[in-house]
Amino acid sequence: MQTVTEPTAQTTTWVDAPPEKVWSLVSDVTRTGEWSPVCWNVEWLEPDIEPRVGARFRGHNKLNGVRWSRDCEVTAAEAGRRFGFSTLFKGRESTRWLYTLDAEDGGTRLTQAYQVVAIPLWVKLVRKLPGAMAKTERDMRWNMEQSLARIKAQAEESAEVA
């Protein structure tokens, strides 16, 4: 599996905390529910319990009244620099996610990128309904912007305490 090569969407924010602090948040997948408006719970799949390439976890999601879970595999785990994973649908790669962290102005430039690799036929058909694709894109952008805003708030709050 690869990391994001051609983003379907991405968003960036500046965080007033060092990259190592931000990385410790985004790479602790069990905390994802604290900032994601879609993914409400995540657990490592045994024997994996740490962010390393090849480690697996399961994310539980809900959006617009629909609930689903996806197994995921870590694709990038470079402390203070990058954390990425792919979601799996029926054992095949479905989407790629990547957090990139760059030291900038005494803080971190945090970018979250998302790439669709493959989606089920029924999702493709639903997206052809009038307005469905635009709504999907709006929902994704909102999800990513909310996630980064919440990560930023947590990183900056914990940096003040340290």
Could you report the average pLDDT of every consecutive run of 10 residues in the chain (162 residues)?
78 97 96 94 90 96 89 96 94 93 96 86 62 71 93 86 56
Predicted local confidence at residue 123, as pLDDT: 62
User: What is the pTM (predicted TM-score) of this model?
Assistant: 0.88
Contact criterion met (CB below 8 Å) for 87 and 97: yes
- Whether 64 is covered by a domain: the verdict is yes
- Whether 34 is covered by a domain: the verdict is yes
- Whether 4 is covered by a domain: the verdict is no
The CATH number of the domain holding residue 156 is: 3.30.530.20
- Determine the structural domain holding residue 145 and report its residue range: 9-161
- Whether 84 is covered by a domain: the verdict is yes
Sort strands 82-89 and 56-63 into parallel, antiparallel or unpaired: unpaired
- Whether 25 is covered by a domain: the verdict is yes
Predicted local confidence at residue 140, as pLDDT: 79
The DSSP call for residue 45 is P
Alpha-carbon gap, residue 58 to 26, rounded angstroms: 15
The DSSP call for residue 50 is S
Contact criterion met (CB below 8 Å) for 102 and 42: no
In the chain, the number of structural domains is: 1
- Whether 3 is covered by a domain: the verdict is no
